[in-house]
Chain A
Amino acid sequence: MEMLTKLEELILLSVLRLKDNAYGTTIYRHIQSVTGKNLSLGGVYFPLDRLARTGYLRAYYGEATEERRGLSRRYYYLTDKGIEALADIRRVNEVMWAGFPELAPSEGDHR
C-alpha cells in the first residue's frame, strides 16, 4: 500500500464525504470539526496540493465570491488512484485493528 500520512488520509476522506462541495475551506472545517483540533489552514492546504500533484486528487477551478476577495475556489475530487488508496488503507486498518474489543468505539461516539 501507499503510505499516506494520517492528515492526507483524513483529507482524502473529507473530499469523499464532501462530494461536490470539497474545496479548501470546507475540507479544513470538516477535519477540524471531526478531530476537534485547531489546525492551521496552511497545514491542510499544502498536503492537499501535494495529493493533487501526486495524482490522488484532481482539481478544477470554481467561482470567485466577494467573500473570498474575488479569489476563486479550487474544488477537488478523488481519482481512481485516490479511491484505491483509501480502500487500501481501510483494508490494512481493519486487519490491524481486528480482535481488540476493548478498543471498539462506544455508542454515539462515531465520526
Chain B
Amino acid sequence: MSRTATALKRLIVGHPISSGELGHTLLPKGIALPVFASDALSSMAYATQEILLVLALVGLAALSLVVPIAIAVALLLAIVIVSYRQIVRAYPGGGGAYVVAYENLGFTAGLAVGAALLLDYILTVSVSITAGGDAIISAIPALADHKVGITLLLIALVTLANLRGSKESGRIFAVPTYGFVVAIYALIITGLVKCLGGCPQAESAGEHLEPEAMLTAFVLLKAFAAGTTALTGVEAIAEGVPVFRFPQSKNAAATLGILGVLSISMFIGVSWLTDHTNVVYTEEATRTVVSQVAHAVFGGGPMFYVIQVLTALILILAANTAYTGFPVLASILAKDKMMPRQFRSRGDRLVFSNGIVILAVSASLLVVIFDANLNKLIQLYLVGVFLSFTLAQAGTVMRWRRMREPGWQKSAAINAFGGAVTGIVLVVVILTKFKSGAWIIILATPLVMFLMRAVYKHYTYVTDQLANPERKPLDRRPGHQHMVILVEQVDAATARAVGYVRSVRPADLHAVAFDDSVRDDWAKLAPQVELTLIPTGESRKARLKKHLRSLRNDLGRDDFLTLVVPEVLRSKGLWQILRQPGLQRLKASFLREPGIQVLDVPLDRSEAQAASETHRSIEPARNYVLVLVAGVHNATLQAIEYAETLRPTDLRAVSFGLDPEATEKLGNDWLASGIPHPLEIDDSPFRDIGGSLIDYVHRFKPDGVKRVVTVVMPEFIVSKRRHQLLHGQTALIIKSRLLFERGVVAVSVPYPIED
C-alpha cells in the first residue's frame, strides 16, 4: 500500500494491534456496572411504553394498570437477578448461557442457545438503535421523516467505532450510563415533588382513545409480556465475571444486586409518573413516553434535552454491548465447530471483524424491513432472551446437582425456581406475541440451529477423514515422482520450469502441448524430453484431464503425478486471473482430480524480458522446500511425502498465525509423530499469514536461477463446492501472493475428503 493509502486506513481504522495487546485489564465494580448494565438499564427507555401500547387498545381506563403490571415485571426481574447471582457463583469463569447449556444440557441445548443468542444480538442492535433514534426524534420532531436514515447512520457509526476496537471503552461507558441513571432519578424525584401539589399533565393527556379490545386475561398477559423487555441485558454480567476485580464472583454478584435495585426503582418510578401525568401513547405518537413524562415534569427546558441525549447515548451503548457479545460468541461457536472458521480470527485491529460486519448488515436489514418501527421490532425480541434465561438456569441446576458443593441445595432451588418462572414467561411471550412477529424468530431459530448443526457435522467428518486411515510417516517406501510439463509456448518461464524439473530428477518426465507449433523451439530447449501432442477434440481442459488420468491409472497409489505449469505473469494480483481465466480455471480444476498435483513456475514479466533471447534451462543449485502446515494429519503427511520427492536442499514444515494454544498442540503432535523433518512455528503478529510467509521466504534469498524456494501447500478438497466455503480461502490468497515473489515455486497437494 502506498504511504497515503496506509495513512488513510490508519486514520479511519487505527493502527494494527499485535495479538499480544489483547491483555485484559480487570474492572472495578464502579466501571463494571456501566460496562455491563447499559443494556439492562437502557430498556427502561422503552419498557413502560410497550406496556402502555398494549393497554391503549382497551381504552383510557385501562392505562392505570401500567403500575401493577410494572410491579409484576419488577418482581420477575428480582427473581431473575437473585437466580443469576447464583449462576455467577457457579461460574466464576464466566457463565455465558451458551457455555452453561452446552456443558450441562448437551449439544442440542447448546445449539438452541447459540442460535437464539446470535439472533438476539442482532435484535439488540436493531431495537436499541431504533429506540435511540426515537429519543433523538423526540427532542427534534422535525427529523421524524428521516427515521430510517438516522437509524442506519447510527448503526454505521457504532460499527466503525467497533471495527477500530478500543481498550479504554470502560471509562467511555461510565459517563452516559451514570448520567442516564442520575437523570432518570432526577426526573422521578422532581415529578414526585411536583405531584404533591397536583401532578403536571403530559401533552397527550386527555387524548381520545377508541377502545378496540375488551380487557381480558390475555390482554393483561400481553401487557406483562411487553413489559418483560425490561429484563433484557441482565445476563451480560454473568458472562463477564472474568473481567471483574477479585474476588470476582462476589463483586459480580454485588454488581448484579445494584443493577437490580436501580432497574426496579427506575422502572416503577417511570411507570408511576406515566400513570399520574396521564400519558396516552399510541403507534401514531411521535414522542416517546419517557420524553413526554420529561416534558411534563421539566417543561421544555434544558433538563428535557439532557434526558433525550442521555437516553439516546445509553441506547447506543446498549447496542454496543451486542457488538462485543456477538463476535465473541461467534468465535466460541466457531471454535466448537458450529460456525465457519472464518469467524474465529481477529482482524487488523484485534477485533473479530467478520462477526462485526455480519452483525451490522443483519441489524441494518431488520431496520429497513421494519421501517425503523420500534414496536414492530420489539415483537421479535424476548423469545431468545427468555429461551436463554431458562436454559442457562436449568443448566446451572444440573451443575449444582453434579458438583454437590456445600449448601448446593439452596442455590439449586433458587435457580430451579427462577428457571421455572422464566420458562412460564417464555410460553407467555410466545403465545401473546406469536401473531405480531414472534413467529419469525420461532421459525428462524430452528433454521439457524439446523445450519449450525450441518456445519458441525461437516467439520467433524473432515477431522475424522484426516485421521483415517491412520498413516505413519515413512512406514512404507516413498512414492516416485512423475512429472508432465505443460508447454503452451516456449519462453523464459518454460525454460525455468525445465531447469527446475531437471533438478528434481523425476522417475518419469515428458512434456505435453496442444499444438505442434512449439515443437521446434522445444527441441532446442530440451531435446531429451519427449513432447506429446494432445489429440484434438473436446476442450483443452478435458483433453489434458483425459491424458493425465490415463497416466495416473498406470501409477502406484503412493506415486505422485505432477502437472508443471510455467507461467509468465503479465499483470499484478487479481488482474492476472482475469487476463488468463482459462489457465487459472485449468489449474483450479486439477485440485479436484485425485492423485494429481499442480506445480506453478511463475516468472514476472520484467524478469522474463531480462532473460536472454535464447532460452536455456538452468538447474537451480539450491531448492529450499517449505511445507505449510496447520496440524498433524493425513493431508500434512501426504504433503511432506510429496516434498521429499523434490530432492530438496532443505525441507522444513512451517506454520503461521495459529492460536497460542494451538501452537503448543502442534508442537506436541509433531514431537509424537516421528516426522523426521524440522517444524518451525512462527508468529504472524498482525494476522497477515501471506505477508509473514513471504517475509520467511525472503530469508532464503531466492533468485529463481540458482536458488529456488518451493512452497508446498496441502489442501483438503471436499466434494461439495459449497462446503469449500467452510474451509476458508487462505490457500488461494497465499498462492495468489506467492506467484509474484521472485524465485518461488508453488505446489498444491490436494487431499480429497470423500463424502
Decide if A and B are genuine partners: no
**Chain B contact residues, CB within 8 Å of chain A:** none
